[in-house]
């Protein structure tokens, strides 16, 4: 820990917090059309920062798309290269610069501007939208470049950057770009590092070697030609809400068991070695109680909970579009409703097979209703699960960096969420690893979102040390 660039990071904490504040100040909300100019401004900020650090930068346009009926220009992908020395290994770094919506009116922000980074020195926390997801890690990589440049320390590897502005809205256009550029821009990449996830708890750093996939469904029920008055037409017309509620109750039960026949048959068998990994993790049911704010877990057993999150599929019901959901009462019979649900996929589940099984199951159950309404099932998007070898050189390099900075070995974890581009990189570019900066209680996507300053500063040091270890091990 005596390298000049490592000391520079520690000594310039105030400057590095200021740089993160610059990034957080841009409300780059990709899921809201009125903020699209801000996403473009954010991508330009990233490109300018990388250019100022001697990177060769290209802003790759992705064309247009339609959001809520409006035609919008997709934010460009920032592709940047630092170093082309054929004697060095090449690491690809991925991050995203867009964020979830946020407003000072949201209760968690307590009237504070979520796009003004607030340093609570009493708790050592940095509050602001995007602070942990994913601007903290993104700016961390910029800090690594700055630290090496300021101390005249040569980077031990060549770097390629792939920074997008649509991750929170489906990463539209990114998969196609990666596949197209696999043998062009991304050619020669030896390893991929993504820092867009979190520790399993608040006390021990982690490395992530698996993500669940996802299949998101829309269950459409169409009935009368228009909404109806329940007093005039109740018990006369076939009601779509009745059908959609009946069908969604046939998908999952109150114990979390998936009711779609054949779906669980695809799940990879649990080996004793894999089970031991869950047994050895520093985790308890209390970690989940704290995260969800109650003791309403489906189990109190540590291993059962971890497997439910990391290696077993889940089916969640998300909502019913078209139903009355405002405060007060309204005696309407909706003419058309859409039930929304998703399945988190695990090895060895194939999205195409999952979609087929779900559709067959719902068609069978709908036939039993003898309804005069019509039903259709649509899969909005799907992605396979990803699992890597946590003992390979890429993970070993990151583990050594974590041990040096934090003084402990990282926990090896699998995430319950999905980052579909991870699999795209792994399949088309090079072995891929997730190296989290933030903690489990950071509140990404919620209010208030935060990043502990220790995670920001030490996490930046971990990112840099990972590059030096990778140069020796890859």
What number is the average pLDDT over the span 390-416?
97
The catalytic residues are: 98, 167
Of the pLDDT bands very low, low, confident and very high (cuts 50, 70, 90), residue 250 is very high
**Is the CB of residue 197 less than 8 Å from the CB of residue 436?**
yes
Res. 374 pLDDT band, cuts 50 70 90: very high
Residue of higher predicted confidence among 387 and 2:
387
For residue range 316-341, what is the model confidence (pLDDT) as tens digits? 999 999 999 889 999 999 999 999 99
- Rounded to a whole number of angstroms, the distance between the first and last alpha carbons of the chain is 21
Span 360-367, mean pLDDT? 98
Mean pLDDT, the chain, integer: 96
Give DSSP secondary structure letters for 225-275. Answer: SS-EEHHHHTTTS--HHHHHHHHHTTTB-TT--B-STTSGGGSPPPPHHHH
- Helix 13-24 vs helix 453-473: crossing angle, to nearest 10: 100
Q: Confidence band (pLDDT; 50, 70, 90) for 74?
A: very high
Cα angle, residue 220 at apex, residues 218 and 226 outer, rounded to 5°: 140
CB-based contacts of 66, cutoff 8 Å, min separation 6: 72
Give the containing element (helix H, strand E) for 314.
strand 314-321
C-beta of residue 385 within 8 angstroms of C-beta of residue 349: yes
The kind and range of the H/E element at 302 are helix 302-310
Q: Yes or no: say if 429 and 187 are a contact pair by the CB < 8 Å rule.
A: no
* Global confidence as pTM: 0.89
Ordered by where they begin, the domains of the chain are 4-211+386-471 (3.40.630.10), 213-267+312-383 (3.30.70.360)
For the cut 80, the answer to whether the pLDDT of residue 299 exceeds it is yes
Contact 361, 261 (CB under 8 A): yes
Collapsing DSSP to helix, strand or coil, 55 comes out as coil
CA distance 88 to 472: 10
Beta strand 90-96 with 191-194 is parallel
CA dist., res. 428 & res. 177, Å (int): 11
């Amino acid at each position: 820990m005596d390298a000049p660039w490592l000391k520079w990071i520690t000594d310039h904490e105030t400057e590095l917090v200021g740089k993160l504040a610059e990034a957080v100040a841009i409300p780059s909300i990709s899921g809201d059309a009125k903020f699209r100019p801000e996403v473009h401004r954010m991508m330009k900020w990233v490109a300018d920062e990388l250019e100022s650090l001697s990177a060769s930068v290209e802003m790759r346009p992705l064309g247009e798309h339609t959001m809520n009926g409006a035609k919008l220009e997709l934010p460009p992908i920032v592709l940047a290269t630092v170093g082309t020395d054929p004697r060095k290994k090449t690491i690809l770094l991925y991050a995203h610069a867009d964020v979830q919506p946020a407003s000072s009116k949201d209760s968690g922000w307590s009237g504070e501007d979520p796009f003004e980074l607030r340093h609570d020195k009493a708790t050592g926390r940095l509050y602001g939208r995007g602070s942990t997801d994913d601007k903290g890690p993104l700016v961390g990589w910029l800090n690594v470049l700055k630290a090496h440049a300021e101390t005249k320390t040569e980077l031990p590897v060549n770097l390629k950057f792939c920074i997008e502005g649509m991750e929170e809205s489906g990463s539209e256009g990114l998969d196609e770009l990666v596949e197209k550029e696999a043998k062009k821009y991304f050619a020669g990449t030896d390893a991929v590092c993504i820092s867009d996830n979190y520790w399993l708890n608040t006390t021990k750093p982690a490395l992530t070697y698996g993500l669940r996939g996802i299949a998101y469904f829309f269950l459409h029920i169409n009935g009368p030609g228009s909404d109806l008055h329940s007093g005039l037409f109740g018990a006369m017309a076939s009601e779509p809400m009745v059908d959609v509620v009946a069908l969604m109750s046939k998908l999952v039960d109150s114990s979390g068991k998936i009711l779609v026949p054949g779906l669980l048959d695809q799940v990879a068998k649990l080996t004793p070695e894999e089970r031991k990994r869950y047994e050895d993790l520093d985790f308890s049911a209390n970690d989940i109680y704290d995260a969800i704010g109650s003791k309403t877990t489906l189990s109190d057993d540590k291993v059962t909970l971890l497997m439910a999150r990391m290696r077993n599929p889940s089916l969640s019901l998300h909502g019913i579009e078209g139903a009355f959901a405002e405060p007060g009462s309204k005696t309407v019979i909706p003419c058309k409703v859409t039930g929304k649900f998703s399945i988190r996929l695990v090895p060895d589940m194939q999205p195409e097979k999952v979609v087929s099984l779900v559709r067959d199951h719902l068609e069978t159950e709908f036939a039993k209703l003898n309804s005069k309404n019509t039903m259709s099932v649509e899969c909005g998007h799907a992605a396979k699960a990803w699992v890597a070898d946590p003992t390979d050189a890429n993970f070993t390099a990151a583990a050594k960096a974590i041990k040096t900075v934090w003084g402990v070995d990282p926990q090896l974890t699998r995430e319950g969420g999905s980052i579909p581009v991870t699999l795209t990189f792994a399949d088309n570019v090079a072995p891929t690893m997730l190296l989290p900066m933030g903690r489990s209680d950071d509140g990404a996507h919620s209010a208030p979102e935060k990043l502990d300053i220790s995670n920001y500063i030490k996490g930046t040091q971990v990112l840099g040390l990972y590059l030096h270890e990778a140069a020796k091990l890859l």
